[in-house]
């Protein structure tokens, strides 16, 4: 069934009739990141006002690949089951050079996880699910057709001027979180600019509706016979929609390339027939850029307003959700007065570090996919030929290193005898438990996790003993017999020990809260 974009109601805000009381937080932008941010704050009991200058969801597929970590976050936001049920689940990717398959990969060969490696689901579905969820939460005041036109940081609060169809009004809040995308108004009015690299290469995105028996997998071609000399990507989406990305070259005329008369013949060459309907078309260029800082006094940036990357690797939307994951509990603690404002510096440090990682990977992908003519392109093609013959060469072929959670740099307590992938700074790994899944038992509050032992009770944290099984042993113990983990409210490992004292854990807990 074809998706029909909803229209959300505009209601005259009370600020037009008189001053409103100061809010805890204003969230700007009702895309996936802003909606998730408002729900995450509500999960911690923090009310907010969410404003957006539109009254519907995005058009076209846009972000479509949602990683396992994002699905775990969707569970926390209350839309996980809906997203997985509607989405196309996949974990296999195939890479081709011309008409020959070079190799395939499996993103989730290891069992024992609640959620799959990836699903494909159009951004408008994610936004619609999140709006529906947000409207159920009393702590969230959603105001559509409310456009922020000015922001002033007053030291102890933020003042935002907001434009509506009925006029302008002002709203004060303790903090403002800008989730208003790559063309961020908040960033513009504060005079902030993204720095980094812009690429000249142009790509066409086309969503087509087509009945086809196509497996649920990612397919990427270097120099395919149907699009000679360039690259192509194909993904299956819900509702018989297929997403096709085609490299056009730096000299392509964007307006001309959007025209159906130009797009349809290209797609016919890809799918081998004309029995499809063109659903949505866009032409874009790459950017890999970010703000120098994400925290500017009481204004905080998240998602595309803070950082942008090329789409190959699915690091844009997934990276933005990880911003929310990192920021939510910290901002809630600061607003509630349990932590100093300086705790937000750790959000800035962790997420700029993560943005740099995403930008590095996306830049490398872009340069591998679109090398300049001459020696660099010859070298790239030589590598592709070698990859067809040698598995040792294949890791160098770069069609997009797919999004995984960043492992933050950490100075917290660590025991190197425990498994590397469960070290401090990494997201705690999921595993089946007798009563469900471990990942669902973590989050919202700090957890002292006992693996192979009963953890001590620490004030300000929940103590949890895990059910032992092969997945827990592999992921949390390795060759050891027992361990204690301190897990943050965002399900990230903060510290771990084989045999800590109560004071060890207490000191680490205080460090986590920035005390």
What is the chain's Cα-based Rg? Answer: 24
Measured at the CA of 248, the angle between CA 221 and CA 96, to 5 degrees, comes to: 5
pLDDT in tens, the chain (515 residues): 678 899 999 999 999 999 999 999 999 999 999 999 999 999 999 999 999 999 999 988 889 999 999 999 999 999 999 999 999 998 888 999 988 998 888 887 788 999 999 999 999 999 999 999 999 999 999 999 999 999 999 999 999 999 999 999 999 999 999 999 999 999 999 999 999 988 888 889 999 999 988 888 899 999 999 998 789 999 999 999 999 999 998 888 889 999 999 999 999 999 999 999 999 999 988 889 999 999 999 999 999 999 999 877 788 999 999 999 999 999 999 999 999 999 999 999 999 999 999 999 988 888 888 888 889 888 998 999 898 888 888 888 988 888 889 999 999 999 999 999 999 999 999 999 998 999 999 999 999 999 999 999 999 999 999 999 999 999 999 999 999 999 999 999 999 999 999 999 999 999 999 99
**Dihedral sign, CA of 279, 144, 125, 106?**
positive
170 membership: H or E segment, kind and range: strand 167-178
* Stated length of the chain: 515
Round to whole Å and give the CA distance between 304 and 181. Answer: 5
3-state SS track over 361-404: HHHHHHHHHCCCCCHHHHHHHHHHHHHCCCCCCHHHCCCCCCCC
């Amino acid at each position: 069934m074809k998706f029909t974009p909803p229209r959300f109601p505009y209601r005259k805000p009370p600020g037009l009739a008189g001053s409103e009381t100061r809010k805890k937080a204003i969230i700007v932008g009702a895309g996936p990141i802003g909606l998730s941010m408002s729900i995450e704050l509500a999960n911690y009991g923090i009310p907010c006002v969410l404003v957006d200058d539109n009254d519907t969801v995005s058009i076209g597929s846009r972000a479509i690949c949602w990683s396992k970590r994002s699905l775990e976050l969707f569970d926390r936001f209350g839309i996980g089951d809906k997203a997985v049920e509607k989405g196309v689940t996949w974990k296999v990717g195939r890479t081709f050079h011309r008409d020959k398959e070079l190799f395939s990969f499996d993103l989730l060969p290891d069992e024992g996880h609640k959620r799959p490696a990836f699903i494909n689901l159009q951004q408008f579905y994610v936004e619609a699910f999140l709006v529906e969820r947000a409207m159920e939460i009393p702590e969230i005041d959603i105001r559509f057709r409310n456009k922020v036109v000015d922001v002033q940081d007053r030291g102890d609060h933020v003042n935002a001027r907001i434009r509506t169809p009925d006029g302008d009004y002002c709203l004060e809040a303790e903090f403002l979180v800008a989730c208003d995308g790559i063309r961020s108004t908040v960033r513009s009015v504060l005079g902030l600019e993204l720095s980094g690299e812009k690429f000249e290469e142009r790509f066409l995105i086309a969503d087509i509706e087509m009945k086809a028996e196509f497996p649920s997998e990612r397919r990427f071609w270097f120099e395919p016979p149907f699009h000679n000399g360039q690259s192509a990507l194909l993904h299956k989406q819900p509702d018989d929609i297929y997403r096709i990305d085609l490299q056009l070259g730096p000299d392509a005329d964007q307006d001309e390339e959007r025209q159906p008369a130009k797009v349809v013949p290209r797609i016919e060459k890809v799918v081998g027939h004309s029995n499809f309907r063109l659903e949505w078309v866009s032409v874009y260029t790459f950017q890999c850029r970010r703000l120098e800082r994400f925290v500017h006094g009481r204004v905080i940036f998240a998602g595309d307003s803070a950082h942008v990357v090329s789409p190959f690797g699915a690091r844009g939307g997934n990276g933005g959700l990880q911003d929310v994951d990192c920021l939510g509990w910290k901002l809630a603690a600061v607003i509630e007065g349990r932590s100093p404002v300086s705790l937000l510096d750790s959000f800035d440090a962790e997420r700029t570090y993560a943005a740099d990682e995403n930008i590095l990977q996306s830049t490398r992908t872009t340069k591998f996919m679109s090398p300049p003519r001459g020696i660099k392109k010859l070298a790239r093609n030589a590598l592709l030929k070698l990859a067809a013959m040698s598995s040792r060469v294949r890791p160098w072929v770069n069609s997009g290193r797919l999004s995984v959670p960043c492992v933050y740099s950490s100075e917290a307590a660590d025991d190197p005898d425990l498994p590397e992938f469960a070290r401090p700074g990494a997201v705690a790994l999921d595993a089946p438990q007798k009563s469900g899944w471990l990942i669902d038992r973590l989050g919202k509050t700090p957890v002292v996790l006992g693996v192979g032992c009963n953890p001590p009770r620490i004030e300000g944290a929940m103590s949890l003993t895990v059910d032992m099984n092969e997945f827990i042993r592999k992921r949390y113990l390795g060759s050891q017999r027992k361990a204690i983990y301190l897990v943050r409210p965002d399900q990230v490992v903060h510290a771990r020990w084989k045999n800590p004292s109560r004071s060890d854990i207490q000191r680490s807990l205080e460090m986590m809260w920035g005390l």
